[in-house]
Structures are given as C-alpha cells and as structure tokens.
C-alpha cells in the first residue's frame, strides 16, 4: 500500500485489479472451513459470504446466538428510536476461531446518532458571501476546466436514508449555467420524493466542480450497530468490478463511539480500495476539536483514519479563514501517519497558542489533511435555493478537484491518483503554492481550546484549499518522472 502511494517509489501508481486483490488478500479455503465447521456445530449451514470471502453474514435465532457467543440478549427501548436487541456481555469465541475473526457485529453496540450533517446558519448567511460553483472555480483556479476522459468516474456516498431528487440537480445546474448532466448511475436505494440536503449538496457540488465527469450516486441502506455501515460499504466497493476513481463521503461518528476492531477492519478495506487507484475523501466533521466532558479531543471517524483524505473547512471568500466548526485534532486510536510526521512536528513546535497537552493525543494521527468552503454554500432543494454549512460542503468540492486532475492524467495515458496523502504532504512541504494556505481561525469547542490556523499545515484547515493548476502539474510530474 505505502509503496504504491509514494511518489518516490518505483511502484508509485502500479495498481492492481479485483482478481489480484482476491488472490492476494482473501482468506484461504482452509481458514474459511475453520469458521464454517464451528458454525455448523450450532446447526448453521446457511450463510452469505462476500465476493472477497472476508465477511460472512448469518441469520439465526436469539437463543442460538446466545449459545454461540456466550452472551445474554435483552431488548432496549429509546423514546425516539424504537427498540433494539443487544447484549451487555462481552462475546467470546473459541481460541481457534477468535484468531481468524476480526469482529462480530449486532451484539454490543448501541446506536449513536451524532453523525456529520449539513446545517443552516442564518447569522453567517448575513455576514458572508454566498459560495457558488463560480466562486469555487475562481478561488481554486478551475475556470473553464471540464472533464473529457471517457473512463473517468467519481461518486458520492450516502447513508442514513439520504436521497436526492434529479429535478433538484437539474435546477441547480440550470440556475448556475452549468452543462445539464444527470447522474450516470444510482447504486442502492433512492427515493426522489424524499430528498435530503446532505445528498443534494454532495451530488450538486461534486458535479458542479468536476464538470462533465461521470458521477455515481452510491446509497447504502441499513446500519451497523445503529451507525453508518462503513465496513459494509467498503466491502461492496471492493467487490465491484468497476470502481469510481474518486469517492466523497460526508458522514461520520465520534471516534470513541466505535469499537477499535471495527475501525481497524475499515482501515484494511480502505487500503484495498486504494490499491485499485481510488481516492477516498471524508468530511472532517462540524464540532471543532470534538471536546469531551473531560476536556479531551475526541475526533470524528472515519475522518481520523490514516487511510482517508480528511477535508476540513474554511469560510468567507473575501478573506478566507478557518471555520470554527472545522473538526481537527489528533486520533486517540491511531498514531501519527508516516506521511505527516514532519508537518505535525513543525506545527507542534511553532504553532500559535497550542492547547494544553492534556487536551489532545500529541502522538495521534493528525487531521484534517486539506480543506475547502464550509459555510454559505448554495444548494437547490425542493426547487428553492438555500445556503448550508458544514465540512459536508468541503469534501465533495475537494473531491471534484481531484477528479479534474484525474481527468487530465487519464487523457495523458497516466494513472489515477489513488491514495492521496503521501503525495499531498510531500507537495505541501516542497511546493506550498499548490495550496491556498489559510492562516487564521480557531476550532475551539467547549472547554477544549482548539487549534489555531497558521502558515503551512495546521489541525483546522490542513494544507488549505487546492490551487488547481499547480497541484495538477506537480501530481502529474510524479508519474512523468517515473516514466
């Protein structure tokens, strides 16, 4: 993984296909038989395995599940979210089974409803300039750039029953004088009679930035322990014969609300996705440093994963400043990623007004990596234009910029960018003009002081916004140099 994503490696951008991934990384038949034999002792002979053979779904009775995992189930009710069957017991597996199983779902975790979402902010609406596709083009220097590579493909990913109405997309494109272009494909459920702001924002702005690039709307039904089924989505993406080259996701939960075995498994799936030349971008979140009652930074996840590009937010096109809501800080699950060691060390040595060390994990994976507009972004919903805010705005915009760069690479018979961060941090350190640096703003929240933006990388805006012409040229040079 690291080799393929490192511009200094001879293997940079040497991606592999689905069949090779299955051959190299899927469990052996012998391993699977250990699991199936154990399941059969409880009378379970029917199951569904994913095409990559590393996830197995079973349906059984509560009594059988209690015997399998040595637990006791009970029913729990919530006044707003209904009844759920869960256990307060830690599940157990025989040692020979435990050594081949990453985790078991549907037992312990209770739902969390603190997911990233777009928001309205009337006060900021009055104070700031509206952000439109034209403002984005002008700020990031993409005026007149459109996709031309027929094989190029991007996607926005939705959870929690967020749908879009194609009529709103057409209204958006018509109002802002864009080429009329429908989504190329819808994967999963979509109810156009019940559109959500999140879904509309995502698809309107990734398509409003990466003009003429084919776009998929990828919708995921269901929940994982009451939260977004990120691993299931990643599994589905990994099993697809054709994949989008850029994926934007604007959902997440507090890192502490998700078990580490689950986050570890998503990291594995994300690395496999990257090996196919796919760039995955996540919104950083909208709660600043994510302060706990103990005044400790609790970042959002999967934004805290070292294997995604995390997009923070800035505001005010007239005088760009880090958005106070832009989630940033340091993971409590994962250590500083190798690609960011120098940038983080510099910030912690020279950054202004650092919070007390007791408020954050100084050795954790730092975020965000980059940023874009996160306030007063104009969307169309139900035929009306309205401003929304949140880093949910920022992720699809930055993703669209990456799609435009991919488009030029593909036209030149080069490879797509794949996992971005190793290259982005290298560029930030060597060619800072490839980014629009944001040097003001603080993301304090509650009793947590927050981090202050400064020159270079910082834990509120990352490296800043993309300066498309320079960023494109440097990223292209990495592959030209290798060839």
Q: Is 231 exposed, middle or buried (CB count within 10 Å of its CB: 0-12, 13-18, 19+)?
A: buried
Residue in the structure block whose two tokens are 């729990």: 76
Reference 161, options 211, 221, 216, 106; nearest CA is 221
Angstrom distance (rounded) from CA 466 to CA 351: 22
- Give the H or E element holding residue 57: strand 56-57
Would residue 184 show up in a list of annotated catalytic residues for this protein? no
Contact at 8 Å (CB) between 92 and 280? no
Catalytic position from the list 165, 168, 171, 198? 198
Would residue 331 show up in a list of annotated catalytic residues for this protein? no
Contacts of 103-107 with CB under 8 Å at 24 or more apart are 103/259, 103/261, 103/262, 103/265, 104/69, 105/224, 105/225, 105/262, 106/225, 107/65, 107/69, 107/71
Catalytic position from the list 54, 165, 171, 202? 202
Contact at 8 Å (CB) between 134 and 141? no
Angstrom distance (rounded) from CA 425 to CA 387: 32
Catalytic position from the list 392, 395, 407, 437? 392
Contact at 8 Å (CB) between 430 and 424? no
Would residue 63 show up in a list of annotated catalytic residues for this protein? no
Contact at 8 Å (CB) between 298 and 259? no
Angstrom distance (rounded) from CA 331 to CA 366: 7
**What's the per-residue H, E or C state across 380-391?**
EECCEEEEEECH
Strands (E), 300-422: 300-301, 309-315, 321-322, 329-335, 364-367, 370-373, 377-381, 384-388
Contact at 8 Å (CB) between 330 and 299? yes
**Which residues form the catalytic set?**
198, 202, 392
């Amino acid at each position: 993984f690291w080799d393929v994503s490192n511009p200094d490696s001879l293997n940079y951008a040497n991606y592999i296909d689905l069949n090779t991934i299955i051959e190299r990384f899927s469990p052996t038949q012998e391993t699977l038989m250990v699991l199936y034999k154990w399941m059969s002792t409880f009378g379970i002979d029917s199951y569904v395995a994913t095409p990559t053979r590393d996830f197995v779904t079973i349906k059984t009775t509560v009594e059988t599940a209690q015997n399998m995992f040595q637990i006791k189930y009970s029913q729990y009710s919530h006044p707003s979210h209904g009844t759920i069957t869960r256990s307060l017991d830690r599940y157990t597996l025989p040692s020979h089974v435990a050594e081949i199983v990453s985790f078991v779902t549907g037992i312990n975790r209770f739902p969390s409803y603190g997911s990233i979402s777009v928001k309205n902010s009337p006060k900021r609406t009055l104070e700031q300039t509206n952000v439109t596709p034209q403002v984005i083009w002008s700020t990031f220097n993409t005026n007149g750039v459109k996709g031309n590579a027929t094989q190029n493909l991007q996607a926005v990913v939705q959870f929690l029953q967020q749908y879009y109405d194609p009529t709103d997309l057409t209204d958006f494109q018509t109002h802002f004088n864009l080429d009329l272009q429908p989504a190329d494909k819808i994967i999963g459920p979509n109810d156009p009679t019940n559109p959500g702001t999140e879904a509309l924002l995502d698809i309107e702005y990734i398509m409003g930035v990466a003009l003429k690039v084919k776009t998929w709307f990828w919708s995921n039904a269901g929940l994982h322990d009451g939260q977004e089924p990120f691993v299931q989505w990643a599994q589905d993406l990994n099993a697809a014969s054709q994949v989008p080259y850029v994926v934007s996701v604007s959902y997440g939960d507090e890192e502490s609300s998700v078990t580490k075995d689950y986050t570890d498994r998503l990291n594995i799936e994300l690395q496999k996705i990257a090996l196919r030349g796919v760039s995955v971008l996540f919104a950083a979140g909208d709660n600043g440093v994510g302060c706990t009652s103990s005044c400790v930074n609790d970042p959002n996840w999967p934004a805290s994963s070292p294997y995604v590009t995390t997009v923070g937010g800035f505001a005010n096109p007239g005088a760009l400043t880090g958005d106070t809501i832009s989630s940033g800080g340091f993971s409590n699950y994962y250590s500083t990623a190798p690609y960011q060691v120098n940038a983080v060390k510099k910030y912690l040595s020279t950054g202004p007004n650092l919070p007390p060390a007791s408020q954050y994990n100084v050795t954790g994976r730092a975020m965000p990596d980059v940023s874009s507009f996160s306030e007063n972004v104009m969307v169309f919903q139900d035929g009306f234009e309205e401003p929304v805010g949140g880093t949910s705005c920022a992720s699809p915009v930055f993703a669209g910029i990456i799609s435009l760069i991919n488009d030029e690479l593909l036209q030149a018979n080069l490879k797509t960018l794949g996992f971005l961060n190793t290259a982005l941090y290298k560029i930030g350190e060597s060619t800072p003009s490839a980014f629009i640096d944001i040097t003001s703003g603080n993301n304090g929240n509650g009793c947590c002081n927050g981090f202050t933006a400064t020159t270079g990388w910082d834990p509120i805006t990352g490296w800043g916004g993309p300066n498309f012409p320079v960023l494109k040229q440097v990223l292209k040079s990495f592959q030209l140099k290798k060839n």
